[in-house]
Amino acid sequence: MFQRMWSQADEIVLLDSVITFERNPLREMAAFHDLVRPLIQVEVTNSQLDTKIRNMRMKFLRKAHKSVVSFSKLHDRTCFEKSQAIWGPNGILPVERKVKDKDKKPVVLVTGKDEWFEGEEAEDGREV
C-alpha cells in the first residue's frame, strides 16, 4: 500500500514558505530547502522538494483553468487558495497562460453549501 510522504500539514507549510520566500524556490533550491527543512515533519532532498513544488504547481494549473472549481476536502481548497497567491494572475510567481480573450472565464470556487456568506448582501445590494 502507498504511504504518503508529505503530510497535509507539510503541504500547507510548503506553500506558506513559498509565499514567505517571495522568490522562485526552483531557482534557489538550496536556500529554500534551508528555510523549509526545520518547518516540515519529513526529511527530504532538494530533488524531492523540487518535484513536490512542481507537482503542486501543476495540480493548481489543472484546476485554475476551469470556470467552476470544486473541492471535496477543505485541505484541497486551502492549497488551491495558497497556490493562487503564488501562481495565480495576481500571485508572487504568476504563470502566464496564452489564452484568447474569448476563452477567459471567471473562476468560481464551489465547496458545497457555504453558509459563511448566507444572508449577507453583495456590494450592489443583492442578497448573497
**What separation in angstroms does the CA of 87 have from each of 38, 44, 54, 56, 81?**
24, 23, 11, 10, 10
Angle in degrees, CA 114, 107, 85, rounded to 5: 90
Annotated domain spans of the chain:
8-117
What local confidence, expressed as pLDDT, does residue 118 receive? 39
What's the alpha-carbon Rg for the chain, to the nearest Å? 17
- Residue 59: what residue type? K
- Residue 40: what residue type? I
Q: What is the pLDDT of residues 2-20, one digit of tens each?
A: 678 999 999 999 999 999 9
Tell me the whole-structure pTM to 2 decimals.
0.74
Query: What burial letters (b/e) apply to 7-35, b meaning 16+ CB within 10 Å?
Result: eeebbebbbebbeebeeebeeebeebbee
Residue 8: which residues within 8 A CB-CB, separation 6 or more?
A: 75
Q: What is the pLDDT of residues 64-118, one digit of tens each?
A: 888 888 999 999 999 999 999 999 999 999 987 655 555 555 555 554 443 333 3
What local confidence, expressed as pLDDT, does residue 122 receive? 45
